Amino acid sequence: MANDHAKDRYDPPSVGSEFDEDRFSEINPGEVFRLFMNNDSKIYRKTNDNFALDLKEGVEIQFDPNEKIYVKS
C-alpha cells in the first residue's frame, strides 16, 4: 500500500530554538548575546568578566555572572 501524503498526519517535533541558553560567566569575552530569546531584543558583546557593551547605545553595562543570557547558534 502506498503512503497517501494527503492523509499523512505525522507532525514531527520542532527542531528547537535558534538560541542557546547560557550564564554570563560561561561565555568568552567578545561573544555576542541577548537577554531575551528573540531577534528584537538588544544585543550585547561581552568585554570582560563583569561587563558587556550594549552595541546599539555604545555603553558598558555590569552583569551578574549568574545572569541567564541567550547566544544565537
Question: DSSP for the chain?
Answer: ----GGG----PPP---SEEEEEGGGSPTT-EEBSSSSTTS--EEE-SSSEEEETTTTEEEE--TT-EEEEE-
CB 35 within 8 A of CB 70: yes
**Percent of residues, the chain, with pLDDT higher than 70:** 78
- Residue pLDDT, tens place only, 54-68: 999 999 999 999 999
Set of cell numbers at residue 25:
560567566
pTM of the model as a whole? 0.76
